[in-house]
Each structure stands twice: as C-alpha cells, then as structure tokens.
Amino acid sequence: MPTYDFICNSCGNRFDVFLTYAEYGKTAVHCAHCDSADVRRRMTKVRVARSEESRMEAVAGGLSGLEGLEDDPKALGQMMRKMGREMGEETPPEFNEVVDRLEAGQSPAEIESALPEIEAGASSED
C-alpha cells in the first residue's frame, strides 16, 4: 500500500497516510495530530535510477570546466560536490569535509596543511 505524505494547514505537523490507489482522492484525510481536515499533500523527492554509463557521462561533462578552478576554491568545491552526487554512491566524511572547506573559500593548500591525515591516507592506498 503506498504511503502518502501530508502537512496539516492547521497545526503544521507532517504525517503519513497509507492508502490504496483506489482510496487516494476518494477517502478524506485528517491530520494524525489534531484531526483537522485542512491538509495538503506533501510532494517528496523522487530518486531516478541511472545507468553507470549515464552517471559517468555526467561526471565527464563536469570535468570539462576544470581550467582555472585552482584559483577558485568555492567553484572547485561545488564541482566536486556535484560529481560526488553524480556518482550515486555514499561519499566518505573526509570527502565531505574537504568539499565543505573548499565551498567556504579555503584553498587546497590550506586544507592540506590543516588535514595532513587525509593526504597520508590517500598515498598509503595507492
């Protein structure tokens, strides 16, 4: 049975309702917190499955704009975050910390000196 997300316009709380496809739109929905009928459907994020080839093409497209990024840490961080999302895999906390620092305007050299364990970890895996 599908789960539908709602927000109550009276109390502001979010809640889920299980309805069959046949019930949706025909059954009155009431807030699970205050029982108000003044509710609206909340649209949730949708994940789209992409092929490995499609993800790699998106990453390769992002690599075409690398020129000059060494002088713009914020743009470099944004590009790295986008590439991380395109890969469709969980990124390690170290990656996220480096990207956060880049987006805050910290230079790669500053990050390297502040986080020497990241550089040491990368070279021992090669």
The domain defined by 3-41 folds into: Rubrerythrin, domain 2 (2.20.28)
Q: Where in the chain is the domain with CATH 2.20.28?
A: 3-41
CA-based max dimension of the chain: 62
CB 33 within 8 A of CB 8: yes
pLDDT at 91 over 50: yes
CB 6 within 8 A of CB 16: yes
Q: 24-52, pLDDT tens digit by residue?
A: 889 999 999 999 999 999 887 666 666 77
Q: How confident is the model at residue 119 (pLDDT cuts 50, 70, 90)?
A: low
Q: What angle do CA 117, 66, 74 make, to 5 degrees?
A: 60
Q: How confident is the model at residue 58 (pLDDT cuts 50, 70, 90)?
A: low
Gyration radius of the chain over CA positions: 22
Q: 62-80, pLDDT tens digit by residue?
A: 555 566 666 788 888 887 8
pLDDT at 120 over 60: no
CA 79 to CA 59: how far, in whole Å? 10
Amino acid 23 reads E
